[in-house]
């Protein structure tokens, strides 16, 4: 007798794959990673350098966002950054310069903050699809995630903050472009170490 295989074998969708990957870990491990990610982002915010002619300081947060997303995956990274925003909204001094409170989420940096979870998820999706395994795809992919942060900040400054598109770009995007190149290259170089740290978290 010849056995035949069903040609209509179901395939797993990307959301199912993401859910399966996260569900494969214990609840405790996922919780630890999410909390640790939010704390890392809070620490990176404390390195805040004022930028002349800009209401937005230079911080290490974009670098942390790229590493969190690429190392933790889209779901956990999104949750970690969302937790960070909740921590800041409740008044904890986790935002740049040791600030906290809802007022920060209505200030000039709010657009960047609101874009953080989505940029982390995009970096995670890029890594999940193995774009970060080669520099030719890792660097453009991480740059796209970083550009999403700037898009959020630019739109916020231009509209809600009332600067207009040109002034918002001059004050909220242009001063950071050179540093962004360094951050993307640093994220690509540090990603293997970040992935190793994530794998070292206990699974039980």
- Res. 11 pLDDT band, cuts 50 70 90: very low
In tens, the pLDDT along 165-199 reads: 999 999 999 999 999 999 999 998 888 888 888 88
Quote the pLDDT of residue 16.
37
Nearest to 75 by CA among 113, 114, 110, 25: 25
Both tokens of residue 142? Answer: 């991480």
Q: What is the dihedral of CA 162, 163, 164, 167, to 10 degrees?
A: -170
Tokens 């300081």 -> residue: 57
In whole angstroms, how far apart are CA 162 and each of 139, 157, 159?
A: 33, 6, 5
pTM for the full predicted model: 0.83
pLDDT at 53: 85
pLDDT at residue 17 above 90? no
* Average pLDDT along the chain: 86
pLDDT at 113 > cutoff 90: yes
Q: What is the pLDDT of residues 57-106, one digit of tens each?
A: 999 999 999 999 999 999 999 999 999 999 999 999 999 989 999 999 99
Higher pLDDT, 162 or 131: 162
Helical pair 74-89 and 61-72, crossing angle rounded to 10 deg:
140
The two tokens of residue 193 are: 């170490």
pLDDT in the model for residue 131: 72
For 18-59, what is each residue's pLDDT tens digit? 344 444 568 888 999 999 999 999 999 999 999 988 889 999
**pLDDT tens digits for 137-159?**
788 889 999 999 999 999 999 99
85-105: buried (b, 16+ CB within 10 Å) or exposed (e) per residue? bebbbeebebbbeebbeeebe
Average pLDDT over residues 7-16: 40
């Amino acid at each position: 007798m010849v056995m035949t295989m069903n040609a209509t074998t179901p395939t797993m969708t990307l959301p199912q794959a993401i859910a399966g990957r996260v569900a494969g870990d214990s609840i405790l491990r996922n919780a630890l990673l999410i909390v640790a990610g939010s704390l890392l982002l809070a620490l990176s915010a404390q390195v805040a350098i004022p930028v002349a002619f800009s209401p937005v300081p230079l911080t290490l947060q974009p670098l942390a966002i790229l590493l969190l997303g690429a190392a933790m995956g889209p779901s956990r990274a999104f949750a970690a950054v969302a937790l960070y925003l909740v921590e800041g909204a409740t008044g904890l001094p986790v935002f740049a310069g040791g600030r906290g409170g809802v007022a920060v989420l209505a200030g000039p940096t709010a657009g960047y903050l609101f874009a953080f979870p989505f940029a982390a998820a995009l970096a995670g999706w890029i890594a999940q699809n193995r774009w970060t395994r080669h520099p030719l795809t890792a660097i453009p992919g991480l740059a796209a995630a970083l550009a999403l942060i700037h898009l959020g900040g630019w739109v916020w400054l231009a509209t809600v903050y009332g600067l207009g598109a040109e002034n918002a770009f001059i004050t909220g995007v242009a001063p950071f472009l050179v540093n962004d190149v360094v951050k993307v290259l640093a994220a690509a170089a540090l990603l293997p170490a970040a992935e190793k740290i994530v794998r070292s978290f206990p699974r039980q």
